[in-house]
Structure 1
Amino acid sequence: MGTDVLVIGGGNAALCAALTAREAGARVLLLEAAPRALRGGNSAHTRNLRCMHDAPQDVLVDAYPEEEYWQDLLKVTGGRTNEALARLVIRASATCRGWMQRHGVRFQPPLSGALHVARTNAFFMGGGKALVNAYYRSAERLGVQVRYDTPVQRIELQDGRFVAAWAGGERIEAASCVLAAGGFESNRDWLREAWGRNARGEWPADQFLIRGTRFNQGTLLRHLIDEQHADAIGDATQAHMVAIDARAPLYDGGICTRIDCVSLGVVLNRDGERFYDEGEDFWPKRYAIWGRLVAHQPGQTAWSVIDAKAVGRFMPPVFPGVVADSLPELARRLGLPEDRFMQTLDDYNRACRPGRFDHTVLDDCATEGLTPAKSHWARPIDTPPFYGYALRPGVTFTYLGLRTDETAAVRFADRPSPNLFVAGEMMAGNVLGQGYTAGVGMSIGTAFGRIAGERAAAAARVQEVRHAAA
């Protein structure tokens, strides 16, 4: 037998699994598809973890109890979630930080542009890249073997039991295995297949940008679903999808390309029309719906428009916006139809009702008699200079994955595998049927990574006993 526990993947969930299995005494081999310099998958682009807590804790203020966390998740998913698994994640988020710190992760108070989540989210000192590096250092110190540039294409099973993995022409045996190789967001053909053509004859997926790693091709996920007939869960079109700067790179743009001024202004499509309530709820609870909203607009592009009053109230993106001293000039510079643009802005400005503006609460600044309404933070866009940001859908990770339970076991015809487990984006669809709220992806990956690692180590011990008995 080559090793006790084989972990396929190199991001947060994979590392949590590898470290936990190693702590349990297992020999662990981790296979990362990316080269060392690009290791860590999407986790390298993260910055925080959503944490349940019943009282203030170091970097977390006030309290964020289980029921509130659950209600937040229930709201963004529209009920498309497994409550038992969601609550498992929520409860695990209350106790994981000590373990993370023992493996070198450090936390800091939130930055000024992220104060909305000071109560709910713990921020990593140095961001996700520092977290990933800390975990790899700890793995090396503990004796976890790591191989880079080693994508796995398929696995061997026998009656639902893991036997070996194939990386190119190499066969790698192990007593148990954890799958944590991410979603399929970097696979353009699969995205096209999932989204198809829209009523305008467009292929929406052709306009998607990928916020994270280029290595999440979904090869192993497709193999498990299509060839090994593992139980799947989720909708292939559902994803953590954010409205990002249209000038962002195709891959690895990360957080700095996100446009966070949406709730402070209006968003127009290429016809110069608004299409959704920009002030529906706090931005950390709604930012992840905007990529999907933009994906359904003509050309999969939209524009966020603000005035000088909004400057300094949001985390600035990496690229400066288009600036103009008048709204007609801004419309021309953005390439939008000036007459319709001005009609939309005039209608919006007239509909804004006076209130007490406060971006830290759900304030009483709303529109009246306007469709779609703006429920909060609605102030006339009337103070030059004016700014516009072109938006395109930015996919973070996809939600189609493998069905599992509280043991993290992969299931075949509703029967759990005795030694094949799954964690992270490959199973996040069990908790996230749709929607997203900041930091929950890292909560899922951390909770199920640790469960999968523990279960894989236990399965390897059982296998060792059987071999000894034979």
Structure 2
Amino acid sequence: MAGHVMIDTSKHYDILIVGGGNAALCAAISARRGGASVLVVEAAPRFYRGGNTRHTRNMRCAHDSATETLSGPYYEDEFFEDLLRVTGGKTDEKLARMMIAESKDMLGWIVEQGVRFQPSLGGTLSLGRTNSFFLGGGRAMLNALYRTAEALGVDVAYDAEVVGLDIQGGRFKSAKVRHEGQEFVIRAKALIAASGGFEANIEWLKEGWGEIAENFLIRGTPYNRGTVLKMLIDQGVQQIGDPTQCHAVAIDARAPKFDGGIITRLDCVVFGVVVNKHAERFYDEGEEVWPKRYAIWGRLVAAQPDQIAYIIFDSRSLDLFMPSLFPPVRADSLSDLAHKLGLEEGTLSRTLSDFNAAVQPGTFDPAILDDCRTQGLAPPKSHWARRIESAPFYAYPVRPGITFTYLGVRVNEQSRMVMADGTAADNMFAAGEIMAGNVLGQGYAAGIGMTIGSVFGRIAGREAAIEVQSPSSSSLQTASLEFA
């Protein structure tokens, strides 16, 4: 009986998949449909399975026409232009173009695996044309993939952490897995690493960021500690990316240290001013439409004193964005607001009066790059600049919220890991956050993490199944027919 298992070392699997999120499950389903026997080991307990996929809402895929759930076409070239813009050109163009081309097919494939989509929710970064939203969110999407994988005969072990890898000459031999208080050695003909980044490993974050990483909040799972990534790099897999590059957004400073998820993100930067602990502005809040720029704010706040900032706006903007889990700090006067935030009242008053004086007349329109801007102010506010004057006044304290890290392993177009000497690994593949740095050198566009996981997961599973050349059994064909 497939499904949740105790590890049985007498059972020989074709493919071992490390990780339990979107990338791992797409790989497992793809490999199983390709005729391979598969064991998925997930370090988290069953309830917390799925890494950061639990917190997602949508994925970004190219498509040539509107659908029941997408408001219009999103062509491959536009997707690539968006990727180039957010990464500043720091992407492997060949892999990125392949991923975008393959993403067109993913929308149909993922539905075939039991996942359902819905039209975009109001106020979600205006993504109704480009991004497909999961009905019931990321956890529902995960549950559908697990149901399909288990019905196809994929075995899954929870609370199963990989603590050692035996790799010889670029070839995977076995993994040591800690499970139920014991250590097991699991041999397999191929390995697929889909175990996420190292964002929950504060010590590792500090290697790149220094002490300021202590003030970071981790939006995602506490289980992504980068253990497998470190082992792979230590054993000769080529590293890609910069240890300080990551998907980092400004999130509510009152969020928990881990697992705050999407409900702690704040989408109101463009409607207000953002000041640091010295009550001074430090960046153009209206630089670009929010889906294309929201992921720069975590890094910007990280560079401020004590890694804290405050988004300040007035009553006119309160209903223009998706509310966060926590209510904003409210005050009837700006001096009272300064007091509640612990900011120096005179400086805040001066910052806001300078801002108000610089605002030019224009037609406010939150849906487009409007003509409401400041003049003679540094830094400027390029769009959506409105005087902050209508009481009551509101503020959100924000800190950098790290979603996932980009330092990872290099892969080729078959999702095979590339060794430090440039040769492709024999039987080792990677998908998802652990190789996201191939596509994301820096920056982020909403929903692209799920695209990377699904596309490269499916490829890794397919290629690993070909690699192990497992003859397809009649029972598998029956299962495939039931789920086609």
Give the TM-score normalised by the residue count of structure 1.
Answer: 0.96
Q: Which amino acid aligns with 2:371?
A: D
Q: Indicate yes or no: 2:399 matched with 1:392.
A: yes
Q: 2:68 aligns with which of 48, 58, 63?
A: 58
Unaligned runs of 5+ in 1: 197-202, 465-470
Q: 2:235 aligns with which of 225, 228, 238?
A: 228
The CA distance in 2 between the partners of 1:463 and 1:159, in whole Å, is: 27
The CA distance in 2 between the partners of 1:46 and 1:63, in whole Å, is: 22
1:275 is paired with a residue whose SS is coil
Q: Indicate yes or no: 2:225 matched with 1:217.
A: yes
The CA distance in 1 between the partners of 2:294 and 2:125, in whole Å, is: 15
Counterpart in 2 of 1:430? 438
Q: Indicate yes or no: 2:129 matched with 1:119.
A: yes
Q: Indicate yes or no: 2:46 matched with 1:36.
A: yes
Q: Where does structure 1 differ by over 6 angstroms across 4 or more consecutive aligned residues?
A: none
What does the per-residue CA deviation read over 1:153-195, in whole Å, with 9 as the maximum and x for residues that have no partner?
2211121111111113311000111000000000011011111
Q: CA deviation at 1:84?
A: 1.0
Counterpart in 1 of 2:82? 72
2:335 is paired with a residue whose SS is helix
Unaligned runs of 5+ in 2: 1-10, 473-484
Q: Indicate yes or no: 2:426 matched with 1:418.
A: yes
Q: Which amino acid aligns with 1:284?
A: P
Counterpart in 2 of 1:353? 360
Q: CA deviation at 1:462?
A: 7.2
2:324 is paired with a residue whose SS is coil
Counterpart in 1 of 2:466? 458
The CA distance in 2 between the partners of 1:337 and 1:375, in whole Å, is: 26
The CA distance in 2 between the partners of 1:431 and 1:154, in whole Å, is: 27
Q: Is the 8 A contact 1:41 1:212 kept in 2?
A: yes
1:259 is paired with a residue whose SS is coil
1:367-386 map, 5 Å:
367-386=374-393
Q: Indicate yes or no: 2:262 matched with 1:248.
A: no
Q: Indicate yes or no: 2:201 matched with 1:183.
A: no
Q: Is the 8 A contact 1:175 1:463 kept in 2?
A: no
1:414 is paired with a residue whose SS is coil
Q: Is the 8 A contact 2:429 2:460 kept in 1?
A: yes
Q: Indicate yes or no: 2:172 matched with 1:162.
A: yes
Report the RMSD for the aligned CA atoms in angstroms: 1.2
Q: Is the 8 A contact 2:14 2:470 kept in 1?
A: no
Q: Which amino acid aligns with 1:444?
A: I
Aligned length: 457
The CA distance in 1 between the partners of 2:221 and 2:49, in whole Å, is: 9
Q: CA deviation at 1:390?
A: 0.4
The CA distance in 1 between the partners of 2:378 and 2:125, in whole Å, is: 30
1:361 is paired with a residue whose SS is coil
Q: CA deviation at 1:115?
A: 5.7
Q: Indicate yes or no: 2:289 matched with 1:279.
A: no
Counterpart in 1 of 2:412? 405
2:428 is paired with a residue whose SS is strand
Q: Which amino acid aligns with 2:112?
A: R
Q: Which amino acid aligns with 2:312?
A: V
Q: CA deviation at 1:99?
A: 1.2
The CA distance in 1 between the partners of 2:229 and 2:191, in whole Å, is: 14
Q: CA deviation at 1:333?
A: 0.8
1:87 is paired with a residue whose SS is helix
Q: Which moved more, 1:54-63 or 1:339-348?
A: 54-63
Q: Which amino acid aligns with 1:290?
A: W
2:206 is paired with a residue whose SS is helix
1:154 is paired with a residue whose SS is strand
Give the TM-score normalised by the residue count of structure 2.
Answer: 0.93
The CA distance in 2 between the partners of 1:81 and 1:415, in whole Å, is: 20
